[in-house]
């Protein structure tokens, strides 16, 4: 996927997350936002997978179910959803780990527990 295509897909993801946030507001459980965002993205005709296992390989041993990505869109972008009062540096590390283990280039950390979604939206590029 080209950078331009990734940017177009990113725009659809952000717009969909904003729609979910406007309709539901902050303060709900992460799972509610996950189901709603997956629905909105599928309505756009996008391929969306939820709770995707991310294995870890150590010394040739595959450790299944080591991690789970909240949502992967078009097998390209990982979405890690949160609904917390404060950001935690471990959230960024978690998404960076998922990007590294899956060799994907782009991810979004989306914390729906903000009055303005833009304050809880972070774009993370693998390797940065």
Q: Which domain holds residue 52?
A: 3-125
**pLDDT for position 5:** 95
CB-based contact 23:36 (threshold 8 Å):
yes
Please identify every stretch of the chain with a pLDDT value under 70, giving residue numbers as ranges. Answer: 128
**pLDDT for position 62:** 86
Query: CATH number for the domain including 14?
Result: 3.40.1350
The CA-to-CA distance between both ends of the chain, in Å, stands at 19
CB-based contact 26:114 (threshold 8 Å):
yes
Supply the pTM of this predicted model: 0.94
Beta strand 121-125 pairing with 106-111: antiparallel
Residue 122, CB-side half-sphere exposure with 13 Å CA sphere: 19
Q: Which residue has the tokens 């040739």?
A: 60
Residue 5 main-chain phi, psi, to 5 deg: -65, -40
**pLDDT for position 65:** 74
For the chain, how many structural domains are there in total? 1
**pLDDT for position 128:** 66
């Amino acid at each position: 996927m080209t950078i331009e295509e990734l940017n177009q897909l990113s725009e659809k993801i952000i717009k969909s997350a904003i729609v979910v946030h406007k309709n539901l507001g902050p303060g709900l459980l992460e799972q509610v936002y996950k189901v709603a965002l997956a629905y909105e993205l599928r309505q756009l005709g996008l391929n969306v997978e939820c709770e995707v296992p991310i294995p870890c390989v150590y010394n040739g041993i595959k450790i299944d179910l080591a991690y789970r990505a909240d949502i992967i869109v078009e097998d390209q972008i990982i979405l890690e959803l949160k609904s917390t009062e404060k950001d935690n540096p471990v959230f960024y590390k978690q998404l960076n780990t998922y990007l590294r283990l899956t060799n994907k280039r782009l991810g979004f950390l989306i914390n729906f527990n903000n009055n303005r979604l833009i304050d809880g939206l972070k774009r993370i590029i693998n390797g940065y």
